[in-house]
Amino acid sequence: MKKEILPLTLGGLSIGTTEFVIMGILPNIAEYFDISISSAGQFISLYALGVVVGAPLIIFVSGRLAPKKILLLLMLMFTVFNGLSILSPSVELLSVSRFLSGLPHGAFFGVGSIVARRLAEEGKEAKNISLMFLGLTIANVVMVPLGTYFGQAFSWQLTMGLVTSIGFLTLISIYYWLPDLPIKNKINIREEISFFKTKEAWLITLMTALGTGGCFAWLSYIAPTMTEVAGFQESSVTYIMILVGVGMVVGNLLGGILADKISPVKSCILLFLLIAINLVLFSFLAHIPSVALLLCFLNGASFLALASPVQLLMMRTAGKSEMIGSGVTQASFNTGNSLGAYLGGLVLFFGFGYRYPALMGSVLALVGFLLAFIIYRVGDVESSRSTKKNKLA
């Protein structure tokens, strides 16, 4: 990995750790503040809300700054707001700090994707973007289990201190190692927004939110499914999540290579179909422990393999509006997070067993597949029209 890309990878590690480690230390936070675990769940939801609000908003506000300055600002916000969590004496202040911590998330990945693309050799843009998301996948394999252990063995404040330290290291690495890239497209807000008058923008946004919601419907309820259906002990869930994380690492790198080889939109078609098939198999075969473990790995791999193709597809389609388009894509991923968790929980609310959130997820992934295919067909039609015009000219 080139030194210039390492700050983006560290940023992915920072953000991935704070987003997912909260789930492992939620009981400890609930006990500290003497609230129920369901009430403590607001700390997860408020972070996701911060991501959805912050991604397009921050990019709008900072769009006229050079990429390096934007990333420095975002990681400074990340470090300060996560540090605020350590000092939070009340539920209210921790809630505010979690919301604020989510604000830089989507904007960082959005701007970082543009930087990674501009630093890449021709034909290797998606691979470079996948190296940024590599940090997020490593967070799930290493930092989340480590942070969970610190939170359970010592205190949740120590875990948040670990997150803040990684943020500070990322800030330093951006300052010293990230090149000063010029502002590529100086366009005003009206021109940025004009991209969302196109059908492609909304198709990609819907594809991302609905399609990835399928993965989150499965992932949100993986722990009770693996214990109640597959028969694993609760103590095994940590190792199962590490297996999922390893799958994410592998899939993320393969997704970047795939997008460079066969195009981003074709990659999305293939991967959403694969996810839908995997989730159907998981729903019906989760009672077989060995098969359930294999499918956990494959689901994690196919899920994160989407990250680079979806991001690159939006950037290429958005053209001069690539910065706001990238931010909206990240907001869509987190919309999928909330939507998938909600619909998976709705299935359980109506009395279906733990197998069925995955089945609901397969339906959402199939919707993502259909939308990706429509995007592909729309692109073919636009290309044909352009070719005919050129011939007439």
Where a domain ends, among 180, 214, 247? Answer: 180
82 and 209 co-located in one domain: no
Do 163 and 82 touch, CB atoms closer than 8 A? yes
Burial of 384 (0-12, 13-18, 19+ CB in 10 A): exposed
Residue 392 in domain = no
* Residue 202 sits in the same domain as residue 141: no
**Same domain membership, residue 194 and residue 174:** no
Clarify whether residues 220 and 327 are in a common domain: yes
**114 lies in the same domain as 232:** no
Alpha carbons within 13 angstroms on the beta-carbon side of residue 296 total 26
Block residue for tokens 């690159």: 312
300 compared with 342, residue with greater pLDDT: 300
**Spatial separation of the C-alpha atoms in residues 370 and 368, rounded to whole Å:** 5
Q: How far is CA 255 from CA 292, 300, 310, in A?
A: 23, 12, 10
Instruction: Indicate the number of domains in the chain.
Output: 2
C-alpha span between 41 and 53 (Å, rounded): 19
Per-residue model confidence as pLDDT tens digits over 105-122: 988 988 998 899 899 888
Range of the domain at 166: 1-180
Predicted pLDDT at 219: 85
Buried b (16+ CB within 10 A) or exposed e, 102-131: bbbbbbbbbbbbbbbbebbeeeebbbbbbb
Return the CATH number at 128: 1.20.1250.20
Same domain, 120 and 267: no
* C-alpha angle 328-329-334 in degrees, rounded to nearest 5: 95
Residue 184: per-residue pLDDT: 67
Evaluate whether residue 120 is within a structural domain: yes
Predicted pLDDT of residue 387: 44
pLDDT at position 194, please?
Answer: 73
Q: What are phi and psi of 353, to 5 degrees?
A: -80, 180
Place of tokens 């990995």: 1
97 domain-assigned: yes
pLDDT at 162 over 80: yes
Residue 392 has pLDDT above 50, yes or no: no
Q: How crowded is residue 157: how many other Cβ atoms within 10 Å of its Cβ? A: 18
Query: What gap in Å lies between CA 324 and CA 368, rounded to an integer?
Result: 22
Q: 231 in a domain, yes or no?
A: yes
Picking from 180, 210, 243, the residue at the C-terminal end of a domain is: 180
Q: How far apart are CA 42 and CA 264, in angstroms?
A: 35
pLDDT (average), residues 87-103: 93
Residue 41, C-beta contacts closer than 8 angstroms, at least 6 positions apart: 26
209 and 163 within one domain:
no
Residues 228 and 165 in one domain: no
Same domain, 153 and 255: no
Residue 127 lies in a domain: yes
Q: Are residues 162 and 206 in the same domain?
A: no
pLDDT tens sequence across 9-46: 999 999 999 988 887 788 889 889 998 876 887 888 78
At residue 271, the pLDDT reads 97
Are residue 146 and residue 262 in the same domain, yes or no?
Answer: no
344 domain-assigned? yes
Q: Is 266 exposed, middle or buried (0-12, 13-18, 19+ CB in 10 A)?
A: middle
Indicate if 75 and 194 belong to the same structural domain.
no
Q: How confident is the model at residue 376 (pLDDT cuts 50, 70, 90)?
A: very high
393 within some domain: no
The verdict on residue 391 lying in a domain is: no
Is-contact 362 273, C-beta < 8 A? no
Q: How far apart are CA 99 and CA 97, in angstroms?
A: 5
Q: Average pLDDT for residues 230-245, to the nearest whole number?
A: 86
At 358-368, the pLDDT tens digits run: 999 999 999 99
**Residue 25 has what pLDDT?**
85
Taking the alpha carbons at both ends of the chain, their separation in whole angstroms is: 46
Which of 180, 198, 213 lies at the terminal end of a domain, its last residue? 180
Whole-Å CA distances, 370 to 64, 217, 235, 331, 342: 36, 18, 39, 21, 22
Q: How far is CA 167 from CA 18, 79, 98, 116, 360, in A?
A: 10, 5, 15, 19, 36
**What pLDDT score does 98 carry?**
94
Tokens of 198: 């196109």
Residue 339: both structure tokens together: 């939507």
User: Sorting pLDDT into bands at 50, 70 and 90, what band is 319?
Assistant: confident
Cα dihedral 322, 106, 54, 160, rounded to 10, equals: -160
